[in-house]
Amino acid sequence: MPPNVHLLDVNGPAHIFYEAREFGANVDLHFVSMSDKSEIESSAGLFFSKLTDFDSFELSKNDFVIVPGLEFELLSDNTFLKESKPFFDWLHLQYKNGVNICSICTGTFLLAESGILNGKECTTHWRYTSKLANKFPEINIQKDRLFVAKDNLYTSAGVSSGIDLALYIVENLFGSKLSSDIAKEAVIYFRRSEADSQLNIFLQYRNHLDSRIHNAQDYMIKHICTAFTIQDIAEKVNMSMRNLTRLFKKTTGVTIGTYLEKLKVDRALQLLSEKNKVDTVAKLCGYKNSNQLRTLLKKHKSVLPTDTSSLK
């Protein structure tokens, strides 16, 4: 908890972990000061008190340190940065020991000050990406991402994306069903209907900010049970096929064909788990017959459950 902390950067992720605990997950929450002050004032004027000193914790690889964002002006205050050096050193040590380090919004700057982002991919609020690049040129900044997660380092773009990141962490720790239940409880929009089982794909390929590609993905999800072409998608999002194909791969990291296959696999596994017949599942996945479905699932056999007797 830095001084001048942004409220939603704290309360958003904290509420997700609170809900996880309410659903029975083994989660302990601690609110920690990054200085020797047990009380700080937020950027909105609300005070936080009874904070624990950061150096009173011995952390392990099972722990997460989440550093929320703060008023940007403070990040240019040399006195603040100098006084915060013990925290930066502690944060660097935790990262080196395998502790999971996360940032929300301008909290990325505090991670950068500790040196743990050198040579790493990260993101921050869109308004401050150029400032982060200028101050820390050795960092690989991803400008179009809601969050970036790699190994034990997590950074997010700010405000509500901190909630997205928290849900991503919960899913990795406790499974997609719990994260989906929490999202429903917190009334969070996932860019998909309540019945869709595309949570994993959303987290892997939807953490970008290009509305045209989101619309293309929405179109594929909505029409998964019908036959359509890339031309159909392109017309829907007012792009040429060539530009759509290029931008989709650049934005998501996968081709349209690969993304659609993953959608169909997840949809098929959901329908099969609900004891639907293979022929029915094939039609609901946009295939003319069950052999086409079997061919698809055989191609992606690494994600199939142990019991696939219904496919034989």
| Contact indicator for 196, 46 with CB cutoff of 8 Å | no
Architecture of domain 190-312: Orthogonal Bundle (1.10)
**Domain ranges in the chain with CATH number 1.10.10.60:** 190-312
290-307: pLDDT as tens digits = 999 999 888 887 655 544
Q: Which CATH number applies to 7-177?
A: 3.40.50.880
Q: What is the pLDDT of residue 273?
A: 76
261-301: pLDDT as tens digits = 988 988 888 788 778 899 999 999 999 899 999 998 888 87
Q: 161-174 vs 7-22: helix axis angle to the nearest 10?
A: 30
| Long-range own/partner contacts, residues 17-23 (CB < 8 A, 24 or more apart) | 17/166, 17/170, 19/182, 19/185, 19/186, 20/170, 20/174, 20/178, 20/182, 23/178, 23/181, 23/182, 23/185
Strand partners, 32: 52
Across the range 148-172, mean pLDDT stands at 88
Strand partners, 48: 40
Q: Determine which of 46-55, 117-126, 175-184, 245-254 has the lowest per-residue pLDDT on average.
A: 175-184
Residue 146, classed as helix, strand or coil, is coil
Q: What is the pLDDT of residue 193?
A: 31
Across the range 159-169, mean pLDDT stands at 87
- Measured from the Cβ of residue 52, the count of other Cβ atoms closer than 10 Å reads 13
Q: What is the pLDDT of residue 196?
A: 34
Q: What is the pLDDT of residue 205?
A: 81
| Contact indicator for 279, 290 with CB cutoff of 8 Å | yes
pLDDT at 198 over 70: no
Strand partners, 41: 47
| Contact indicator for 301, 311 with CB cutoff of 8 Å | no
In this structure, are strands 140-141 and 52-53 parallel, antiparallel, or unpaired? unpaired
**Domain ranges in the chain with CATH number 3.40.50.880:** 7-177
